[in-house]
Chain A
Amino acid sequence: QVQLVESGGGVVQPGRSLRLSCTASGFTFSSYPMHWVRQAPGKGLEWVAVIANDGNDKYQADSVKGRFTISRDNSKNTVYLQMNSLRAEDTAVYYCARDRKVAAADYYFDYWGQGTLVTVSS
């Protein structure tokens, strides 16, 4: 069965960095685009970033552009989110999610991890 397991969350001071990881199993990881989606405490969902199945194309939301970088290692079945210059408003549960379609992303998310909480606070 498809499993996505995030790690790397925690408490970090404003301006510092953190790297999240999401390890996948139960499917051919290298065939699927992967996304990060976040949810601030008690709030709705916000898409963060996407990476193509081969890692060649990447897009980020305007709110994180220039600060967050998505990457992947298909040999390790893992997608990463490097978060720099963190702000209080980045506090959220971060989910990795699989794109519904093989190869060409259709920007719908059919499997999600359980999420990892990032708290940005001094």
Chain B
Amino acid sequence: EIVLTQSPATLSLSPGERATLSCRASQSVSSYLAWYQQKPGQAPRLLFYDASNRATGIPARFSGSGSGTDFTLTISSLEPEDFAVYYCQQRRSWPALTFGGGTKVEIK
């Protein structure tokens, strides 16, 4: 099983600040990685697929990068609606899909 480790577990930032979230895979997943955002009481929302392809309707302040084992989700300037939990997910080993444990971005 491919294990995805997200760091940090919690990120405390203020609106307007830059957020950098990390996802590290236990073995190469090539570029087969997605990012999701989940707010309390809501379903996850797809942000990026194949590491850097922005999903429909996702604002440009979000960017995804990386390949192999190291991936980054960056939010260039946090808006109030961006405070949420973010998950990465790999499909390299389909159908044995796995998710990371999540990073919570909270208001400082």
Contact = CB atoms under 8 A, between A and B. Distances in A.
Given A108-B89, A110-B55, A112-B44, A61 B49 contact: no
A40 to B, nearest CB: 12
Interface string B75-89: 000000000000101
Interface residues of B, number: 22
A50 B95 contact: yes
Interface in A7-48: 44-47
B43 A44 contact: no
Interface stretch (B12-20, B65-73, B96-104): B96-104
Interface in B15-29: none
B54 interface: no
Q: How large is the interface on A (under 10, 10 to 19, 20 to 34, 35 or more residues)?
A: 20 to 34
A44 B99 contact: yes
Given A108-B34, A108-B49, A46 B43 contact: no
Given A44-B102, A110-B55, A95 B97 contact: no
Contacts of A109: 34, 36, 44, 46
Nearest to A58: B95
A110 B47 CA distance: 9
Given A100-B49, A112-B43, A114-B43, A107 B91 contact: yes
Contacts of B97: 47, 61, 107
Interface string A50-67: 100000000111100000
